[in-house]
Amino acid sequence: MNILYFYLFLLVHPYLGMWWKSFPKAGRQSWEALIPGYNYFIVFKLSCKKPFWALLLAFPGIHLVMWATANVSYIRRFGYYSFTDTLQGIFFPYYLMYKCTQEGEIFEDETNWSNSAERETRKWGDHVALFLSLPIIGHVVAIGIDMVTRDKPGTKSRVKEWGDSILFALVAASIIRTYVFEPFQIPTGSMEKTLLVGDFLFVNKLAYGSKVPVTPLSYPLVHNTVPWVNMKSYSGLEIGDYTRLPGFGTVSRYDVVVFNYPSGDTAVYDPRMPNGLMGHDYHGILNNEAYYQYQKANSAKLQSLRKNASDSTFNVYYDSFCKAYINNPAPWRKIARERLANGNFPEYMVSDETPEAHGGLIYRPVDKRENYIKRCVGIPGDTLEVINAVLYVNGKPAEVGENQCLQYEVDKSIVEFPGASEMYEEYGLENAPNQTRMDFKDADIRNPNKYVLTLTEGEKNKIEKDFNIKLNLVIEAQYTDDSSYIATGEDLIANINYFPKDFYINNTPTNFSKFVIPKKGVSVSIHANNIAWYRRIITAYEGHSLEEKKEGIFIDGKKSSSYTFGMNYYWLMGDNRYNSADSRVWGFVPEDHVVGRASLVWFSKSAYLGVRWERLFKWIE
């Protein structure tokens, strides 16, 4: 249901509750119940002595909490505060509100807490309110305090007192978290060394304007999953459209931005993993599983050829084998899609520890997709290209930040690096070359005779000077870099690992084809050779149907040669360029996915070194 209908319901509610008949019993005029907005102001004034709580009805998600608060508080002034009365007040108060209008009903200005019978009657109603505010934990706190202290005569019970306190603490915290700033923890090293694993930071939502929640009915202070019970934290009963409130500015090039993961509309639930997710990139999992199923179906023949044929014969066959898949991947993607939908683990991931089934596919609305953090390197209308690990924006090399990292290599026969503590003290590196972490590591099985170092420009220059060596960039070259090189089927299949995940668009992390970032209101020509760049924009982000036929491209059933973008888009990359799943993997970030700007590191702790005191209260640049 669209959120607009809930606001219309709030306007109609006072008439359904016949407030114009019960207001006179409270010493108010009937006409006051008929003025939208003002009637809630009066109800909060009568029931809670806090009329300005009516303003909280304007906040999506909070509005229904405050609606229920108004109803329960109001009917309690007429003596309806039992367990069943409270449930009715929260979910369907109209029968009790009708009773409040009847002759003989008396409005009490204050609750008589000195009346032990009244306290006992309302006890379980207060338990209901506390449970709906903070299940179990709230009761443990309230009952625990009640066991070691005594109520003062004529004061609220502990359950009532804590229920009120917890409810409005959660309301206030939810408003701040949704509309002002939100805490965020860095889980991976994709932004090192600007942001480190273990950094705790604040995201400023006012910088670009706060997003009104698309799914406002949600468990407070959690994102998409309730901790420990691994259940989704939100309800789809109330769904809103994308709306952004005015902010202090717009996303600028080189801002550090927190956003909802663009490819997270579908996620695979795995109870073994943190937050229950096997991987955020469902589409990447699907592609890998489809190719695995194709290989599995032909494994016997491949093994036989590998055993009996010469290398040259096998290579020719394997090339045609890969290209046969490229020409018709649809049947294998269908098999992979069905496996995932049925709860089967992707076979390419299966191990002895793999359960028989995962938890199924989860669709997540925009505001409940995983939060990611990267640096915005391209804004709407920019032309971007990556050549040998150098990013070009509008034809010029992009600004290189002080903490931006690239990956370099050097033969082990040329140099021997000291141990971990020496490298940390001298160069600020948390790990030595033979340890498996992305700061500074071996080249693993890819190239065991080389060190591979992830370094900033300053660190690279210092190491080259101190050790009198030359560090070379690690480059994953496009096969088209060499005109004499003919792409194999295996090369083409590798292209689906990078956006736009098309066999014939040849991108790698260090070499990326030139493209233009979509801008709202701008039209582009679309055809078979470039539609791959825009498929998700047209379908997943802007909600149109797309069909690609021999006779042309059809959008919403109409043949189209151009498309006009309905939103602005951004290109985001991690500062740790070789160890970042970013726009090079999942593409453009729509404006409705932008959460806010990362502003301040307020705490930081390393798993290896403890608290990083020098990073506390550090502004993010």
Q: What is the pLDDT of residues 146-189, one digit of tens each?
A: 666 666 656 666 677 777 777 788 888 888 988 999 998 887 77
Residue 533: pLDDT band by 50, 70, 90 thresholds?
very high
CB 322 within 8 A of CB 493: yes
pLDDT, tens digit (0-9, with 9 covering 90-100), for 447-461? 667 778 888 898 899
Beta bridge partners of 371: 260
Q: Band of the pLDDT at 435, cuts 50, 70, 90?
A: very low
Which band of pLDDT confidence, cut at 50, 70 and 90, is reported for residue 491?
Answer: confident
Q: Note the pLDDT tens digit of each residue in 82-118.
A: 889 989 988 899 999 999 999 888 888 776 666 666 6
pLDDT band at 514 (very low <50, low <70, confident <90, very high): very high
> For 266-309, what is each residue's pLDDT tens digit?
888 776 666 666 677 888 889 999 999 999 999 888 888 888 88
Does 127 score more than 80 pLDDT? no
308-354: per-residue pLDDT in tens?
A: 888 888 888 888 999 999 999 999 999 999 988 888 888 888 776 66
- Quick check: 511 pLDDT over 70? yes
Q: Which amino acid is at 83?
A: F
State how far the Cα of 253 lies from the Cα of 236, in Å rounded to an integer: 34
pLDDT in tens, 380-406: 999 999 999 999 999 999 999 888 989
User: According to the model, what pLDDT value does residue 443 have?
Assistant: 41
Residue 580 has pLDDT above 70, yes or no: yes
How far is residue 42's CA from residue 60's CA, in Å, rounded to a whole number? 21
Find, among 214, 274, 270, 275, the residue nearest to 242 by Cα. Answer: 214
- Say how far apart CA 491 and CA 489 lie, in whole Å: 5
Averaged pLDDT for residues 507-518: 94
Opening angle at CA 366, ends 534 and 334, nearest 5:
55
Query: Which of these, 307, 289, 309, lies nearest to 297 by C-alpha position?
Result: 289
Q: What is the pLDDT of residues 213-252, one digit of tens each?
A: 888 878 777 888 777 776 788 887 778 888 898 999 999 9
Rounded CA-CA distance 376/59 in Å is 29
Mean pLDDT of the chain: 85
Is 551's pLDDT higher than 60?
yes
CA 340/CA 278 separation, integer angstroms = 11
Domain ranges, ordered by start, for the chain: 3-179
What pLDDT does residue 442 have? 41
Tell me the pLDDT band of 24, cut-offs 50, 70 and 90: very high
Measure the CA–CA gap between 523 and 60, rounded to whole angstroms: 34
Instruction: Point out which residues pair with 597 in neighbouring strands.
Output: 204, 257
- Whether 194 has a pLDDT exceeding 50, the answer reads yes
d(CA 579, CA 405): 9
> Residues of the chain with pLDDT > 90: what percent?
41
Whether residue 415 contacts residue 469, with contact meaning beta carbons closer than 8 Å, is answered with yes
**DSSP class per residue in 515-535:** EE---TT-EEE--TTTGGGTH
State the pLDDT at residue 621.
Answer: 83
